[in-house]
Structure 1
Amino acid sequence: MQLPQDFKDRMQKMLGEEFEAFLQSYTLDRAQSLRVNTLKVAKEDFMNLSPFHLRQIPWVNEGFYYNSEERPGKHVYHEAGLYYIQEPSAMAVATLAEVVQGERVLDLCAAPGGKSTQLAAALQGKGMLISNEIHPVRAKILAQNIERMGILNAIVTNETPQNLAKRFPEFFDRIVVDAPCSGEGMFRKDEEARNHWSIQNVEMCALRQAEILDCAAIMLRPGGTLVYSTCTFAPEENERSMANFVAAHPEFEIKKVEAYEGFAPGRPEWADGVEAVKDTFRLWPHLLEGEGHYVAVLQKSGAELANEITEKLPDINKVAWKSYETFAKENLVNQPEGYPVMFGEQLYLLPYALPLRGLKVVRAGLHLGTCKKKRFEPSHALALALRPGDVRHTCKLTREDARVNAYLKGETITSEGEKGWHLVCVDGYALGWGKLSGNVLKNHYPKGLRWM
């Protein structure tokens, strides 16, 4: 692997005697891991179901290493949202956020969604998560991952931090800033990051991170928690960034939290001697099984309640709402709760009556479905948010059933039961919708997700 020479020179100066061990880590295979989605399946139940060889990740209860020759991304349980394939070090960020059910949480730089889905699992459907991504294409990928995990209470936005800060002053209990960075910690897995690295880019990233953090400071309520992370080794983006932030924002302090196995402390000597950064964490690839990461937990002084920011939502089209109610009466035992809003023909449930006008919203909470001329067609997102006990009609399959692959390929399959909408499930977990007529189940698995 060809590493930039300026990068190697700097790392040798930083690490001294550790440098050879650090360099040696680039010759090793990177760790492969997944995180169980506890919104859908308990950890213990997944362990009993899992066809993979799993080893516990020390710093996340639901995280596991798997063997590199296994391919969980091509398994039906992945399509059912039972787990998220995520780099192990990256899982530390949401772990250290220590989210509590019922809180208002913001993931400010959220794509592709690993940290957001982990934060949502901690919320367990209570409270609210806003997952934001400034790049439109990446925001769509984020929304797809939120959907696959069956998350009910997340809003996905495609906004600048500055626009969000204007709308949500002192609104959030916890904010995660997984900041865009120079990506040095990902060199082992990302050739593009290696090719685009430069000292100048490190400096540009540090400036951008400071702007994002200023916006986060505005949006966090007094007493709230801010978690800052990067996947780089550069002190300018890590210890020095934190030292500069607390100097500019005296209402914040770096919080001392318990270290996990393999976590190394931040280095004050890389931040002009600011002692507080020793309570931040560096995750080094030569000291643990994972890529390079940096994490800092900060607390804002005070103990005030978050601002109440609500508005009266527009009235729902009565004909459209009636079509959903008819569908729900015929097909659902338990209905998801929230504030109904419509975008064209699309019906959503917001977790909170938020003022979304003027914001670029990719996913306004849970997408229920499409209202078409007195007829309601349920969404794939609704299917993945439901459990078999929430619906009146199910098509129950096991993972060995040949109909599973046929369904995922978009084919019609055979089934039995009453005419109408059926939730197709594998081993008790939702995969999507089918519409039964006779013994033929018409496939409603989305075309863009179908297996080849």
Structure 2
Amino acid sequence: GNTGLLVANEPRQKRLAALVGNLERCGAYNTLVTSISGAKLARSFHNLFDRVLLDAPCSGDGILCKDRHMLSFWSPEDAQKKCTLQIGLLRAAFHTLRPGGRLVYSTCSLSTEENEDVLLGLLKRYKGLVQIQAVTQVQDGGLASEIGAQYPALLSGCSRVWPHLHATEGAFVAVVGKLGETEWDWVEPDPHPLLRRSPIAVDADPDDWSQRLKERWDFEPEIPAGYELVPQGRQLHLRSAEAAQLLERPWYVRAGMRVATLHKGHYFLSQQAVALWGEQAHQRRLDVDWSQTQSLFAGEPCAVSSPNLTGEVICFHDDIPLCRAVVSSGGDRIEGNVPKVARTNQLTRLLP
């Protein structure tokens, strides 16, 4: 993991916090988060990405089995409007894909207007450059023969998840390959320095944040080549060194991953920093048993016997770093710092 660069675009501001939270929960620091219309993003990224996922906005008719209230918002006219939007997004996404790359177009709609008709819009623009690849992972995902016959045979490789056959919500997926370079009408300044295949030589920690963390946690964080530690407000981030060149771009939101938060003069390690660097900790390491691990993940304090190690620690179970925690001054009680999104009262196992 954390090789290459993952660009995640979310045009809706109110959904950005959830996107950033999910990226950090997964420990991804090779990230660039952007917020702009997908069509406008194609102005900056040309024939570039190895993989593109377009989870297109749609009418949502595929989830009627879960929420019949959605039917009150659906109409043929709305599906046609969505089709126009989806064609523009798919053409833009296809342009950002490099020749030989792979694009996945997906919706939670089952209608041909929002799926096959959208692919026809792509073929109309880039006919000789589009390769529709077969989706083999879904069984019985095709259209009825009389409907499928209305479309080019190459679209038969697309697939649907049918609620009545697969016992889940409905969805559509198409895998698209690219056979040559495309052009875009509007070209903005090139952000490609961030996307170089080889890391550049940089001063990874010009402000010596590593030493400050070492003074507290007895280890100096390993900073991957091409990355740097930078303060952003009350937070410390690990990000690509080239991201500094993109701060003024209108679509830029953030790059990298939060690794610590400043509070009362002290940087508290984030959960993702514990996962990334926790194994480097030795002096401030506390091993806990399975019962204590379950309590930590339930968000509950538990009893410990740690007379010689108090204050902030990193908890481990079977050599797996779990979380940052605080041992009471008496060394007999511990309170964990497992994020709310990861807490559970039904923990049965840990995955390394």
Tell me the TM-score normalized by structure 1: 0.61
Q: Partner residue of 1:40?
A: none
Report matched runs for 1:314-353 at 5 Å.
318=206, 321-328=207-214, 330-332=217-219, 335-337=222-224, 338-351=227-240, 353=242
Q: Is the 8 A contact 1:323 1:374 kept in 2?
A: no
Letter in 2 for 1:235: T
Return the match for 1:212 from 61, 86, 89. 89
**Would you say 1:310 and 2:196 are equivalent positions?**
no
Could you tell me how far 1:405 is from its partner in structure 2? 3.2
Residue 203 of structure 1: aligned partner: 80
Question: 2:271 matched to which residue of 1?
Answer: 380
Aligned to 1:262, the other structure's residue is in SS state: coil
Q: Could you tell me the TM-score, scaled by structure 2's length?
A: 0.76
2: CA distance, partners of 1:404 / 1:245: 51
Alignment of 1:5-84 (within 5 A): none
Residues 381, 163 of structure 1: CA spacing in aligned structure 2 closer, same or farther, 3 A cutoff? Answer: farther
Contact 1:333-1:391 at 8 Å conserved across structures: no
Structure 2 residue aligned with 1:86: none
Find the counterpart in structure 2 of residue 154 from structure 1.
Answer: 31
Name whichever of 205-214 and 422-431 sits farther off. 422-431
Any idea what the Cα deviations from partners look like across 1:54-89, whole Å, max 9, x if unmatched? xxxxxxxxxxxxxxxxxxxxxxxxxxxxxxxxxxxx
**Matches of 1:242 and 1:264 in 2, distance apart?**
17
| Offset of residue 398 of structure 1 | 4.3
355-364 or 234-243, which deviates more: 355-364
Cα 1:196/1:251, change in 2 over 3 Å: same
Three-state SS of the structure 2 residue aligned to 1:353 is helix
Instruction: Show the counterpart of 2:257.
Output: 366
Structure 2: distance between partners of 1:446 and 1:371: 17
Residue identity matched to 1:381: Q
Aligned residue identity for 2:287:
K
Q: Indicate the residue corresponding to 1:395 in structure 2.
A: 286
Unmatched 5+ stretches in structure 1:
1-123
Percent identity for Structure 1 against Structure 2 = 26
Contact 1:267 1:277 in 2 (8 A): no
Amino acid at match of 2:210: Y
194-203 vs 376-385, greater mean Cα deviation: 376-385
Q: Distance in 1 between matches of 2:17 and 2:140?
A: 33
Rounded Cα–Cα distance in structure 1 between residues aligned with 2:157 and 2:250: 36
CA distance in 2, matches of 1:279, 1:246: 15
In 2, the alpha carbon distance for the partners of 1:415 and 1:271 equals: 72
Shift of the alpha carbon at 1:227? 0.9
Q: In 2, Cα distance between the equivalents of 1:383 and 1:172?
A: 30
Q: Return closer, same or farther for 1:290/1:449 CA change in 2, 3 Å cut-off.
A: closer
The CA deviation string for residues 23-53 of structure 1, in whole angstroms up to 9 with x for no partner, is: xxxxxxxxxxxxxxxxxxxxxxxxxxxxxxx
> How large is the Cα RMSD of the aligned pairs?
3.6
Equivalent residues in 2 for 1:400-439, closer than 5 Å: 400-401=291-292, 404-405=294-295, 408-409=298-299, 411=301, 414=304, 416=306, 418-419=309-310, 421-425=312-316, 429-436=320-327, 438=329, 439=331
Structure having greater relative contact order (Cα 8 Å, sep ≥ 6): 2
Q: Report the Cα distance in structure 2 between the residues aligned to 1:308 and 1:391, rounded to whole angstroms.
A: 37
Equivalent-residue separation in structure 2 for 1:398 and 1:136 (angstroms):
42
CA distance in 1, matches of 2:138, 2:239: 39
Counterpart of 1:286? 164
Distance 2:202 2:3 in 1: 24
Q: Structure 1 residue 298: deviation in Å?
A: 0.9
| CA distance 1:351–1:251, shift in 2 (3 Å) | farther
Partner-residue secondary structure (3-state), 1:139: helix
Distance 1:352 1:209, change over 3 A: farther
1:192 to partner: Cα distance: 4.4
Is the 8 Å Cα contact of residues 235 and 271 (structure 1) preserved in structure 2? no
> Contact (CA 8 Å) 1:404, 1:426: kept in 2 or not?
no
Q: Which runs of 5+ in 2 are unaligned?
A: 183-189, 195-199, 346-352
Residue 193 of structure 2 aligns with an amino acid whose one-letter code is T
**Structure number, greater radius of gyration:** 2
Q: Is the 8 A contact 2:57 2:82 kept in 1?
A: yes
Q: Which amino acid aligns with 1:232?
A: S
C-alpha spacing 1:193/1:340, structure 2 compared with 1 (3 Å)? farther
Q: Describe the shift of the 1:203–1:261 C-alpha distance in structure 2 as closer, same or farther (beyond 3 A).
A: closer
SS at match of 1:235: coil
Q: Which amino acid aligns with 1:346?
A: Q
